[in-house]
Structure 1
Amino acid sequence: MIRVTPAFRVSRRRALQFGLGATLASATGLAPVPRAYAQDEVKDEDIFRFALNLEYMEAEYYLRGTTGKGIDDSDAGPKAGAVAGGKQVRFDTPAIGEFMREVAENELAHVRFYRKTLGSDAVDRPAIDFDAGFAAVAKAAGLGADFDPFGNQMNFVLGGMLFEDVGVTAYAGAAPLLKNKDFQAAAAGILAVEAYHMGMARSSLYRMGEDAWKAANAVSDARDKIDGPEDKDQGIRVDGKANIVPSTPDAIAFTRTPQEVLRIVYLTDQKGVSKGGFYPNGMNGTLKST
């Protein structure tokens, strides 16, 4: 289990004063699209390639945790980058193991969908580093130097929550940029699946008890550090009660622009960064700089 540190027991706004540095990134609510990613400057294929980069990471994470191995070479592309970290997780609760295996199958299906849809324009899997990425996340959130997302089922679901929260808001943010109605329909369908995943991960963590609440909320606080002065990220327990669905006061999912998603996966709050964190050599494709 995760060792709870005193950092978990401070208020969210107080946590933002700790200087968590290069951590996760901002979860912004219905944010305007930055000029660099304005609708008339981005092609649908650019957005799908961007999404494929994210799906590669999710598929690798869940496949390694549930099967002990990642994506087959035939699904990764001829010049695929290497993947560091990951191992098969022991699931003490059979149902959670079943949940995670279903998610792994979904994420692999997403990779195959994007590769099929993009055809020769599909990007290969970029280099992915789970070891360095989660080490930085754990340090920022106060999870302890020995935190291992593949060490037990609670840690694994916690890592999954990190990805699923990002995935939902990334798809919600990308929807207005897509021009092709078929692409819009596909993105909406994948958004729904990612939202199912997120609800499962957050509710599973909530049922695990106080250690899981505190760990998940610490990750949320770390993300909030660099999303500006407003409090836009939400943990799984807020005001003494469950908060399974992070949303605006109108119960609308938060959105992230591509730039904000890149800050999360590169683990930086700086502009103009094109690699780092979970992607040591950066993403492949046009949308690759914060």
Structure 2
Amino acid sequence: MSIAVLDKASPAASPSPSRRNMFAGAASVAASVAAVSALGSTAQAQASRTAGHKPRGLTDADIFNFALNLEFLETEYYLRGLTGQGLSQSDTGSASGEVMGGRKVQFRTPMVERFMQNIGRNEARHVRFLRSTLESSAIARPRIDFTAGFAGVAQAAGLGADFDPFADEVSFMLGSYLFEDVGVTAYKGAAPFIQNKDYLQAAAGIHAMEAYHVGVVRSSLYRLGPDVRDKARKISDLRDLVDGPLDLDQPIELDGRANIVPTDSGGVTFSRTPQEVLNIVYGQAGAGIMSGGFFPDGVNGNVQVT
């Protein structure tokens, strides 16, 4: 199945560690997350935290280009899993980076495949929408490495050395869960800094779409039982470990109950700063990280580190 069938609607850089050292300290994920859990999160605390991370001197276009990096990552993931192919060059820009890893998933459950196809269509449209909005200022697709990225995730999160998100539909949904939750928090974190109301409205619409996506993924994974819920918890703990000191991320099961929508005590979902987002996709904790994980050469555009 081709992409046409899938979507018919037309500071100083820190050295990147090797794959063996990716997500340093991963053996102590549970202890590290527990150590910061007492910090909690409230809407007021989040507002205070993100207020100091406004990308200085950056335009709305810079923020949209930052989002485009993430949309490239998500779209290439879904297209490769659903069709065995990625975006065409007309959608990736000139001198776009190569994409390593990924293959067509053999789905066993038609409903799951339909859900993933729906999400994949949406993500491809996000790429095209952002590129058409940005026009000549749109970045090209950066180099993406699913093989190294997921190998690091599997090792650090304790998913097993043989974890492959393209091996089966459940693994594919777990890989989707890794990305979709990050997309929701990234768009929410960027919203306060967008000046143009048209851009803000568009970002809000994409944020809502990403939230719909992760709601489907989280609920689908929850229904698969304790073993899958535990794997999803490990991914959540890993995101929490590398993105910063606050215990913000939430698994799909919390205190023995379904936790499909992660919110604080006020029913508000949390935000991530650009650096927190980059730490997750680069697979490294700390400030000033410039590359690694899924983006071996870093992301493109003016939002690099904050």
The reply to whether TM is greater than 0.5 is yes
Cα distance in 1, alignment partners of residues 48 and 163 from structure 2: 33
- The structure-2 alpha-carbon separation of the partners of 1:119 and 1:189, relative to structure 1 and needing over 3 Å to count, comes to same
The alignment-based identity, stated in percent, is 54
CA distance in 1, matches of 2:273, 2:246: 17
Number of corresponding residues: 271
Q: Which amino acid aligns with 2:167?
A: G
Q: Report what 2:162 is aligned to.
A: 146
Amino acid paired to 1:189: G
Is 2:38 aligned against 1:14?
A: no
Change (3 A) 1:97 1:30: farther
What is the TM-score with the length of structure 2 in the denominator? 0.84
Partner Cα distance (1:61, 1:175) in 2:
25
Whole-angstrom distance in 1 between the partners of 2:169 and 2:111? 11
Q: Does 1:41 align with 2:57?
A: yes
In the alignment, what sits opposite 2:113? 97
1:156-182 CA distances to partner (integer Å, 9 max, x unpaired)? 001101111000000000000000000
Which of 174, 191, 201 is 2:217 aligned to?
201
Q: For the Cα contact (< 8 Å) 2:243–2:280, is it kept in 1?
A: no
1:67 to 57, 72, 83: 83
Q: Cα RMSD (Å) of the superposition?
A: 2.1
Question: How many Å apart are 1:264 and its aligned residue?
Answer: 0.8
Kept after mapping to 2: 8 A contact 1:81/1:126:
yes
Cα distance in 1, alignment partners of residues 197 and 298 from structure 2:
29
Shift of 1:78: 1.1
**CA deviation string 1:189-219 (max 9, x = no partner):** 0000000000000000011111110000011
| 1:108-153 deviation digits (Å, cap 9, x = unpaired) | 0000001100000000000000000111111111000010000011
Asked if 1:271 is matched to 2:287, the reply is yes
User: Does residue 129 in structure 1 map to residue 145 in structure 2?
Assistant: yes
Q: Is the 8 A contact 1:16 1:225 kept in 2?
A: yes
Q: Letter of the 1:99 partner, please give it.
A: F
- Provide the residue aligned with 2:12 in structure 1: none
- Structure with the bigger RCO (C-alpha within 8 Å, sep 6+) is 1
**Does residue 1:183 correspond to 2:188, yes or no?**
no
Residue number among 226, 239, 253 corresponding to 1:223 in the alignment: 239
Q: 1:76 aligns with which of 87, 92, 107?
A: 92
Aligned to 1:285: 301
Instruction: Mark the CA change 1:33 to 1:218 in structure 2 (over 3 Å): closer, same or farther.
Output: same
In structure 2, give the amino acid aligned to 1:167: G
Query: For 2:116 and 2:54, how far apart are their aligned partners in 1?
Result: 36
Structure 1-normalised TM-score? Answer: 0.88
Number of the residue aligned with 1:25: none
